[in-house]
Amino acid sequence: MLTIDLYSRIPIYQQVIDGIKEQVLLGILREGEQIPSIRELSVEISTNPNTVSKSYSELERTGVLHAAVGKGYFVAIGASERIRKDMVFEERKTLIGAAENLKRIGITEEELQTWLREVYQNEATKEKNET
């Protein structure tokens, strides 16, 4: 089940993309499996079908979904691994960028490592973070 934050500055269509990827990554959606139709999902999250359509198109373009005309959308084979790689690439870039900035400001390596240690000691790390 996708949860959409209508108050977020992140566009709804982007939240849908992130949500689908998340579910594939967590195995909630399996490769080859059919996902809700545009119409169904748009009702579920009370949004415009055009918005969901935009998300699905983008996901098809990036190889996460596969569109079968007249049948619906399916999770592409190999989607999980592809998503994982992209995500590592992106998040790594974000992490290193932040670390560089913090270094420039004068934060020591020790402080950073302490913060990271806390992240790994927390068991529940469920949600995504926005700026």
Phi, psi of 111 (to 5 degrees): -55, -50
Residue 47 in the binding site for DNA (CB under 7 A): yes
**Span 11-70, contacts to a second copy by CB under 8 A:** 11, 25, 66, 68-69
125 binds, among a second copy, DNA, none (CB under 5 to 8 A by kind): a second copy
Residue 50 in the binding site for DNA (CB under 7 A): yes
Angle at CA of residue 119, ends 117 and 122, nearest 5° = 110
In the complex with a second copy, the residue whose CB is nearer, 39 or 128, is: 128
Residue 71 in the binding site for DNA (CB under 7 A): yes
Q: Are 8 and 118 in contact (CB under 8 A)?
A: no
For residues 18 and 27, what is the distance between their CA atoms, to the nearest angstrom? Answer: 14
